[in-house]
Amino acid sequence: MSKELLDRIIGGQTKSDAKAIARDVIQGKVDIDELMGHFFSDDWVICQKVAWPVGMIADFNPQLLVPYIGQMLENLERPVHDAVIRNTIRTWQFMDIPEDWEGPIYDKCFDYFSNPKYPVAFRVFAMTVCTDIAMKHPSLAQEIIPIIEDNWDNVSAAWRARGKKELKRLRSVT
């Protein structure tokens, strides 16, 4: 792995630094394999700092991350920082998830979404991922709708805003 990329990752943590790294990956100036190698690192500082540009790649070219879905899912079994979880789930919101990965990703996201012990960001991103998959497999909507409704009075405004949007989508397929 290049010392230059690692220096950029460790040296900067501003939004413009993260955006520049994401842009360079998208433009092919930085090897995505190298960036993702840092994302999967056991060093929590590196993982945390790389999570932001990885999330930004999803904003502009999420399909670049599809080859890493398996590693991302596996990485959630041993996350070294919340930023890794948050940005992994966030990236999946923007991806066209391959059919082979829909089941495992749905199961993992359903766990995050349905469990109030997790931070709101994990839960709302996971809600969207579950809803996206349910749009292709409408029978899943019947699992998601009650959780959104049952949590309505005990959650944040962010949950309710996202829940309102996702309920509308889910009800369109039931």
Residues 6+ apart with CB under 8 A from 7: none
How far is residue 64 from each of residues 55, 56, 83, 137, 172, measured CA to CA in Å? 11, 11, 19, 24, 30
Looking at the chain, list the stretches that DSSP marks H as alpha helix, in order from N- to C-terminal side. Answer: 3-11, 15-26, 32-39, 44-60, 69-75, 82-94, 99-114, 120-136, 141-151, 157-171
Tell whether 84 is covered by a domain: no
- Does residue 74 sit within a domain? no
What is the number of domains present in the chain? 2
16 found inside a domain: yes
Residues 106 and 174 in one domain: yes
| 76 is a domain residue | no
Q: Would 77 be classed as within a structural domain?
A: no
Looking at the fold, whether 105 and 168 belong to one and the same domain comes out as yes
In a domain, 85, yes or no: no
Residues 112 and 60 both lie in one domain? no
In a domain, 29, yes or no: yes
- Report the predicted TM-score, pTM, of the whole model to 2 decimal places: 0.93
Are both 151 and 104 inside the same structural domain? yes
Choose the final residue of a domain: 68, 88, 122: 68
Host domain of residue 50: 1-68
Per-residue pLDDT of the chain (174 residues; tens, 9 = 90+): 577 888 888 886 788 989 999 999 999 999 999 999 999 999 999 998 999 999 999 999 999 999 999 999 999 998 788 989 999 999 999 999 999 999 999 999 999 999 999 999 999 999 999 999 999 999 999 999 999 999 898 889 988 999 999 999 999 998
